[in-house]
Amino acid sequence: MLFEVSQNEYRRHFPTDKSPFISESFMSLNKFKQDKIVRLMKEGAYSIGLLAGLKDGVLRSPFSAPFGGFHYRHEHLSYELIYEFLSDLKDYIVSEELKKIAITLPSDIYQKNMNAKLINAFIRLGFKMEVPDLNSCIDLKKFDGKWTKSDVAGNCRKAINNNLEWSIATGLDDMESAYEVIYKNRESLGRKIHMTLEDILKVKDIFPVDFFIIREGNGNCIGAAVIYRGHKSIAQGIFMGSDLEKRSLGVIDLMYMKVYEFYKELGYEYIDLGTSSLEGEPNPGLLRFKENHNSITSLRYSFSWSVKT
């Protein structure tokens, strides 16, 4: 049986987070989007829990983030305990007269053992598995400056020969320039951007957020990236884009190279480059582009369960 606990009680058992998106600070930042924040634990078994948002009868993890997931003591929880927790989760939805639960797990770079056990248990318990998204990451431990596709190195040299300059945006004006490039890039490609600059700066108040820019010799900003540093060993790429009219100059190739070097030097193990699909529908060009820049492709799973009416 699952029961709801207070924030203090929940955090007494789970003082750390497997990702920044299930932290109290991040949840607090977005709690106004939900009717309620729910913290669930299993009676008599305090090694796994769920922190989720509740709105209109739907329990969600995440409700305003790329992914959510569970809190747990360690990766080696017994399969039986995980299975029982998910089974009790269905009972909780019914007993509380809710409509549905929806959970998106992090990719394997965050939790390999737990993902395997959770996915198996979800399926066996009759949860609906959505078409998995294609997620990309770069293993910085293996990055040595060589590229999967040789053209990338040539494009980086082209960018340097064209006097493009990469830098970290530290002032608000530069951050605004970076956001404007990303916004126009998304708009030109017909892809929505769900965060304003103000939203990103609010995240920056709770953990480090890096803005990077690429400028032409005349100072014009033509490339940008926004990356979170809310995890101790995984940087999370949130936005990246360039002036589409200038992309032939090797703008994004230079951005990838410099960003990889930057986080490798800081001691990070991975950069999570996010999904190359939308609700399971692949973007083949984006996926190929990331793989040309040494990314590893894996699956990010989402599950749901609805009360039958």
Share of the chain above pLDDT 70, in %: 100
- CA nearest neighbour of 258 among 196, 200, 215, 206: 215
Q: In this predicted structure, what is the pLDDT of residue 198? A: 97
Inter-residue contact 145 to 159 (CB < 8 Å): no
Average pLDDT (280-303) is 94
Average pLDDT (233-244) is 95
Strands (E), 56-164: 58-61, 70-72, 100-104, 128-129, 133-139
Inter-residue contact 225 to 239 (CB < 8 Å): yes
Q: Tokens for 3, please give them.
A: 């029961």
- CA nearest neighbour of 240 among 205, 284, 208, 276: 276
Inter-residue contact 146 to 261 (CB < 8 Å): no
For the four alpha carbons of 84, 87, 91 and 97, in that order, the dihedral sign comes to positive
Q: In this predicted structure, what is the pLDDT of residue 158? A: 94
Residue 136's beta-bridge partner residues? 274, 297
pLDDT digits (tens, 9 = 90+) for 112-162: 899 999 999 999 999 999 999 999 999 999 999 999 998 999 999 999 999
How far is it, in rounded angstroms, from Cα 41 to Cα 2? 5
Inter-residue contact 304 to 93 (CB < 8 Å): no
First to last CA, the chain: 23
Report the predicted TM-score, pTM, of the whole model to 2 decimal places: 0.93
Q: How many residues does the chain have?
A: 309
Q: What is the DSSP letter of 11?
A: H
Share of the chain above pLDDT 90, in %: 91
- At 43, the pLDDT band (50, 70, 90 cuts) reads confident
Q: In this predicted structure, what is the pLDDT of residue 142? A: 95
How far is it, in rounded angstroms, from Cα 205 to Cα 73? 27
Q: In this predicted structure, what is the pLDDT of residue 260? A: 97
How far is it, in rounded angstroms, from Cα 133 to Cα 67? 11
Is the pLDDT at 94 greater than 90? The verdict is yes
Q: In this predicted structure, what is the pLDDT of residue 160? A: 93
Q: Which residue has the tokens 């989760």?
A: 89
Domains and CATH numbers, the chain: 2-132+301-306 (3.40.630.30), 142-268 (3.40.630.30)
Inter-residue contact 84 to 45 (CB < 8 Å): yes
Q: If you average pLDDT over every residue of the chain, what do you get?
A: 95
Is the pLDDT at 309 greater than 80? The verdict is no
At residue 75, the 3 state secondary structure works out as coil
Q: In this predicted structure, what is the pLDDT of residue 190? A: 83
Residue 167's beta-bridge partner residues? 213
How far is it, in rounded angstroms, from Cα 20 to Cα 106? 11
Average pLDDT (180-188) is 93
